[in-house]
Structure 1
Amino acid sequence: MSKAFQRFLKRATDIVVSVIGLALLAPVFLIIAIAIKLDSPGPVFFRQERVGKDGRIFRIFKFRTMVQNATAHPLGYHTHDGDPRVTRVGRFLRQYSLDELPQFFNILVGDMSLVGPRPTLAYQVEKYNDFQRRRLLVRPGVTGLAQVNGRNQLTWPQRIERDVWYVDHWSYGLDLKILWQTVGVVLRREGVYNDGVPDEISQTG
């Protein structure tokens, strides 16, 4: 298959899966929303600006898993096992990656794809060198090569290296393989995805 047709298939798959996912999971969304509201004060959704393809800024959606104003804590955006800012419901959602479900909205409107490098914060992207900036050549994804090959055990430079490898070797078949591996990662509950330590970004050349 030509790259152009594979890109068409990728976008078509994103649209079909996100529409079906939003329709079928509507009752789950409602249950999660009620649980979040009963567990702690604050909004149901966590919204945050991230950097997408070609450096475009968009707003990512997640179910809120932490207390309100969690980023005002000295830890800021960094989280760890046993983080007291994570709510009881939030801990469960993270364990099964259910907090990522609202990103079907981002996929549907074209901000994200099912598979691609995870979207990062603007201040992290500012530290990218030319090699690292190549991860912005594709839409960010809900899951990616780094999430099924090491996940939280990887340093930021290692994650970016895998992301750039994905960009350079992308194919529709590779996406399908990553999606299949993601199912196993979620079922084995191999930890939540961490947005990383930005100070480490400059370590990769």
Structure 2
Amino acid sequence: MNLVKADMKLFPKETRYIRWKRPMGRGLSIIGLFILAPVFCIIAMAIKISEKEAPVVFKQKRVGRDGQLFEIYKFRTMCVDAEQQLDQYLEQNEAGRAMFKLKKDPRITTIGRFLRKMSLDELPQLWNVAKGEMALIGPRPALPREVETYTSYEKKRLLVTPGCTGLWQVSGRSELGFDEMIELDLAYIHHCSFKLDMKIIAKTFFVILKAKGAY
């Protein structure tokens, strides 16, 4: 699936950072999976108690680096038929253009709203990082339907591996619109470094504790 036709000059030249980012991320994600195993179990039980018949983990196709499709993992925060209900809420989209965000989305469950507020629903993405499909830091992984509407300029955000957190996520998350997300993602791609990644990781913890902009 070749969705990316972008100017490779935007991507930084090969450096020690580029060579080590992926193996370091995979190693840290594996450690994180072991350490957070008890948290995973507690969240899974909470979801099952709230809706016994529904699956705990939500899987969805996303677009990775260079337009490659992969399956992302998240703790389920919406009702089982949320995807089928999407069309009736598209006109209420608050993010603009390709990305869909709705602050008071009725499809989100009670436990799901708490998980989203604390970003706990995204913990299973550590498995995507361990598999090499995602990075700890990078642009938000886009949906195929979103990428189909991208301009050539917007497709440049697909030049790097998508991340669990990133410059957009720590700069306002869902309070920012689609165009702002694109500019922040491209700024990250152009300036990415170990120093910038450490700043984003530190700010991610602060943003999660503040629980602002997540819905």
- TM above 0.5, yes or no, is yes
Provide the residue aligned with 2:139 in structure 1.
117
1:60 aligns with 2:60: no
1:51 aligns with 2:63: yes
Unmatched segments (≥5 aa) in structure 2: 1-12, 91-98
Deviation of 1:8 after TM superposition, in Å, equals 2.9
Alpha-carbon contact 1:7-1:172 (below 8 Å) kept: no
Q: Spell out, residue by residue over 1:77-130, the C-alpha distance to the aligned partner (whole angstroms, 9 max, x if none).
A: 945333222112111111100000000000001000000000111111111112
Deviation of 1:35 after TM superposition, in Å, equals 0.9
Runs of 4+ in 1 over 6 A off after TM superposition: none
Provide the residue aligned with 1:146 in structure 2.
168
Identity %: 47
1:172 aligns with 2:183: no
1:15 aligns with 2:4: no
Deviation of 1:13 after TM superposition, in Å, equals 2.4
Q: In the aligned structure 2, how far is the partner of 1:100 from the partner of 1:119? A: 12
Residue identity in the other structure for 1:39: S
Deviation of 1:71 after TM superposition, in Å, equals 1.6
Provide the residue aligned with 2:179 in structure 1.
157
> Which protein has greater RCO, CA pairs closer than 8 Å, 6+ apart?
2
Provide the residue aligned with 1:75 in structure 2.
89
Point out the more displaced range, 18-27 or 147-156. Answer: 147-156
TM-score between the two structures when normalised by the length of structure 2: 0.84
Residue identity in the other structure for 1:144: G
Secondary structure at the aligned position of 1:85 is classed as coil
Residue identity in the other structure for 2:156: R
Alpha-carbon contact 1:45-1:64 (below 8 Å) kept: yes
Unmatched segments (≥5 aa) in structure 1: 194-205
TM-aligned CA distance change 1:38 to 1:123, over 3 Å = same
TM-aligned CA distance change 1:11 to 1:176, over 3 Å = same
TM-score between the two structures when normalised by the length of structure 1: 0.88
Residue identity in the other structure for 2:58: F
